[in-house]
Amino acid sequence: MSKITAAITAVGKYVPEYVLTNKELETFVDTNDEWITTRTGIKERRILKGEGLGTSFMAIKAAQDLLHKSNTNPEEIDLVIVATATPDLMVASTAVYTATEIGAINAFAYDLQAACSSFLYGMSTAASYIESGRYKKVLVIGADKMSSIIDYTDRATCIIFGDGAGAALFEPNSEGFGLKDEYLRSDGIGREFLKIDAGGSILPPSLETVKNGQHFVHQEGKTVFKYAVSNMAEVSEKMLTRNNLTKEDIQWLVPHQANKRIIEATANRVGVEPEKVMVNIHKYGNTTSATLPLLLADYENQLKKGDNLIFAAFGGGFTWGAIYLTWAYNS
């Protein structure tokens, strides 16, 4: 019997309609289009507007896009994972609500939080369930409403992040397509450099924490940048060397979209040409858990069965890693 691998068999996406441009940012924070473009590669990002709409709103839409495009019956889904750093609510899982809303009535569901590496870790989790033979259809959704935790007077963070969601369905494959290798890392040294101080168990919400702006993301950009560049490059290169791949064997690099300069540094280290690097940071900014599945959805038409993809991500915690996956279908 041939080994069962976990392949991606469908993808979907959703981004909110509202476009926040660099020009609009210039009107309320001390920044400019030229600085943002040259330092990050971002031109605009999407923002979810509307009272009472949380991350699940986008996760549901991305999942529905996938179900519709692939003609998948939601009742056949075994597990729904929502990778997110911005759940709808504390305690009650965003994935559980999402699964119910999309009609995945036979699935169980839970959230997975690993900052910007959430979707990457989710891919590994999905693949493990499939490879073990325990489940047949695992839906992983990466979704974040970053605008809910951003201080729009802080130019160090508000120019970077955006809202969005992407989804990928994992199923067993016996032809050798799907997830081939992974190298996932984490290091608690990163805890101080990218975080929200209040609202967790260390510092519960209070009038004081709200007044001090401690419910917003705080990032020491330079430090995170330094770690991101070296670590994303290192794990990506490791995927090649330990699988005896040359740069010619790689059709696509799928890097987390945090900063165009980090993407370019990773691509240089792996040695792949710019045409082989998936990039949509100019349109969406950093959507945290949604960057990787949004790339897959945006590039789906160009992907061919048998293409070798290297995924790489880096995020708060620190969390980071790379995955080597072979694409399983022509769209």
Residues that bind ligand UT7 (CB under 6 A): 31, 35, 39-40, 116, 155-156, 159-160, 221-222, 224-225, 228, 258-259, 262, 286, 314-315
Nearest by Cα to 16 from 153, 147, 211, 131: 147
Nearest distance from C-beta of residue 186 to ligand UT7, angstroms: 14
Tell me the C-alpha distance between 255 and 249, whole Å. 17
For residue 158, indicate whether it is catalytic: no
Give how far Cα 22 sits from Cα of 5, 29, 165, 287, Å: 43, 10, 21, 16
Which residue, 74 or 255, is less far from ligand UT7 as judged by CB? 255
Which residue, 258 or 296, is less far from ligand UT7 as judged by CB? 258
The β-bridge partners of 167 are 12, 141
Nearest distance from C-beta of residue 32 to ligand UT7, angstroms: 6
Please enumerate in sequence order all residues whose Cβ is within 8 A of that of 210, keeping only pairs 6 or more positions apart, or say none: none
The residue annotated as part of the active site, out of 22, 116, 158, 231, is 116
Which residue, 106 or 223, is less far from ligand UT7 as judged by CB? 223
Q: Amino acid identity of 306?
A: G
Which residue, 80 or 114, is less far from ligand UT7 as judged by CB? 114
Pair of tokens at residue 120: 């990457």
For residue 108, which phi and psi values (nearest 5 degrees)?
A: -105, 165
For residue 256, indicate whether it is catalytic: yes
Which residue, 226 or 305, is less far from ligand UT7 as judged by CB? 226
Q: Amino acid identity of 129?
A: Y
Task: Give the three-state DSSP class for 255.
Answer: strand
Nearest distance from C-beta of residue 143 to ligand UT7, angstroms: 15
For residue 218, indicate whether it is catalytic: no
Nearest distance from C-beta of residue 5 to ligand UT7, angstroms: 29
The residue annotated as part of the active site, out of 22, 231, 256, 259, is 256
Q: Detail the DSSP E strand segments found in the chain.
A: 5-14, 18-21, 44-47, 79-83, 108-112, 138-145, 163-173, 178-186, 194-196, 217-219, 252-255, 308-315, 319-326
Residue with the two structure tokens 């081939």: 180
Which residue, 72 or 286, is less far from ligand UT7 as judged by CB? 286
Nearest distance from C-beta of residue 158 to ligand UT7, angstroms: 8
Q: What DSSP state is assigned to residue 147?
A: G
For ligand UT7, the nearest residue by Cβ is 221
Nearest distance from C-beta of residue 97 to ligand UT7, angstroms: 25
Nearest by Cα to 290 from 298, 89, 308: 298
Contact 178, 302 (CB under 8 A): no
Nearest distance from C-beta of residue 51 to ligand UT7, angstroms: 28
Tell me the C-alpha distance between 57 and 51, whole Å. 11
Tell me the C-alpha distance between 321 and 168, whole Å. 18
Which residue, 135 or 225, is less far from ligand UT7 as judged by CB? 225
Catalytic residues: 116, 256, 286
